[in-house]
Amino acid sequence: MEITVDRDILLKSLGYAYGIIEKKSALPILSNVLIEATDSKMRITTTDLDIIYSEEIPAISVDKKGSTTTSANILYDILRKLLAGSKVALSLKNENKLQLISGNSKFNLLCITPDNFPLSNENFEASTFKINSKNLLKLLNKTKIAISNDETRHYLNGIFLHKSTFQNQTFLTAVSTDSHRLSHSSVQMNSNIDFEPSILPKKTVFQLIPLLENNTSEVEISNNKSKIKFINNNSFLISKVIDGKFPDYKKVVPQNNEKILEANLSDFKNSIERVTSVSADRKEGVKMFIMKDNLQLSVNSPNSGEGTENIKAKYNADQMIISFNSRYLIDIASQIEGNNIIINLQNPGSPALIKDPSDKDSFYVIMPMKI
C-alpha cells in the first residue's frame, strides 16, 4: 500500500472515527484504525464492536492498493502535530510496519494485519428513508439532555427514535427520560417511511452529533431489530441499538396544566445561572415564587449562602411557589430556539410542561423538587 493524502482531510475524518475507540480495550485491534487504499480513494474505519464508523476520503495519489491497521491514538496525535495544509505519504513496508512521511518528518508505525478486523455485513435494505441532517441534529440535541445514566434501567440509557402520527401527519419522534425529566421532539416525515422503533445508545448519539453539525445534506437511515445504520455523504455509522422496551412516555405528559408562566428566555436562563452561583456544587434547587407580573428566583445553600433575583414574567393564576433542579432548567432553556419560555403548571407537587413557542413539535416535562 502506497498512498498520499491531505493532512487536514485525514485529520478531520480520523477525529470523527477516533471518538468511537475504547481507550482501554482487551483486543489490541480495536485500538487500531483500518486503512484501505483502493483506486483513487482511501477509507478509514474504527469500531468498538457496538459501533462502526467508516469514511471514504479522496487521495492525492494511490500508487499501490492495500490495507492495514495501526494505532488510531498515535496516528491521530502525529497528524494533529503536523503542519496544516501538508501532504502525508503512507507506505506499508511489511505487514508489521507502516511508514508515514510528511515534510521533514518520518515515522514507522507498528501494524496489525486487517484479517481479523471486525466488520458488519448485515442487510439493512428492507427499510430505508432519508432525513435532512439538520432535522436529525435537532432531534438529537433536544433530547440528549434527558438521557439517563442509571445502568439498572438500561432501556433509558439512550434516545427512543420512532415513527408517530398526529392529526393524520407522520413524524419521526425522539424521546428521552431519566424519570426526573423528559424531552420530546418531532419532525414531519413522509407517511410512507418504514422504520423499526429503536433506542439509540448515548455513545451513538454523541458520535452522530458532531458528524451532523458539519453537514447540510440528507442522511439515509435504515435499521433492523438489533442495529441501525446512518449514511451521510461518504461516511456511514452502524450501531447496535439498546435491547429493551422504552416505557409509554405519553402517560407522564401533563394534560391539564392550565396555569401558564411565560418569561423572556434570556432573562430566565441568565437569572438562574446567577442565583445558583452561591451553590458550590450547583445541585441546589432553584425556588420560583411566581406572581402575576413577576418571577422571583432564589437559591439557598446551607453551606454557601443565598441568592435572589426578580425578573418580569406573565402568569395567569394565583401565586405559587415551586422548586426545580436548576441544572435541568438550564439544560432545557439551552435547547429552546425562541425568545420566550412557557411553563405550564398545575400545583407545586405535579410535573411541569415546558414549551418552546417557536417549535410546536418539541416539549419538555420536569418533576418539581420538594420545597
The confidence score (pLDDT) of residue 128 equals 85
How many other C-beta atoms lie within 10 A of the C-beta of residue 273? 14
The answer to whether the beta carbons of residues 282 and 276 sit under 8 Å apart is yes
pLDDT band with cut points at 50, 70 and 90 for residue 335: very high
Averaged pLDDT score across all residues of the chain = 92
Grid cell of 230 as nine digits: 446512518
pLDDT of residue 282: 62
The CA–CA distances, whole Å, from 322 to 61, 180, 349 equal 65, 15, 8
- Domains of the chain as residue ranges with CATH: 2-116 (3.10.150.10), 128-251 (3.10.150.10), 254-366 (3.10.150.10)
Predicted pLDDT at 283: 66
Give the pLDDT confidence score for residue 120 in this predicted structure. 72
**This prediction's pTM:** 0.91
Q: How confident is the model at residue 62 (pLDDT cuts 50, 70, 90)?
A: very high
Radius of gyration from C-alpha coordinates of the chain: 25
Band of the pLDDT at 122, cuts 50, 70, 90?
A: low
Instruction: Output the nine-digit C-alpha cell for 147.
Output: 438521557
What pLDDT does 121 receive? 67
**Mean of the pLDDT values across residues 59-71?**
94
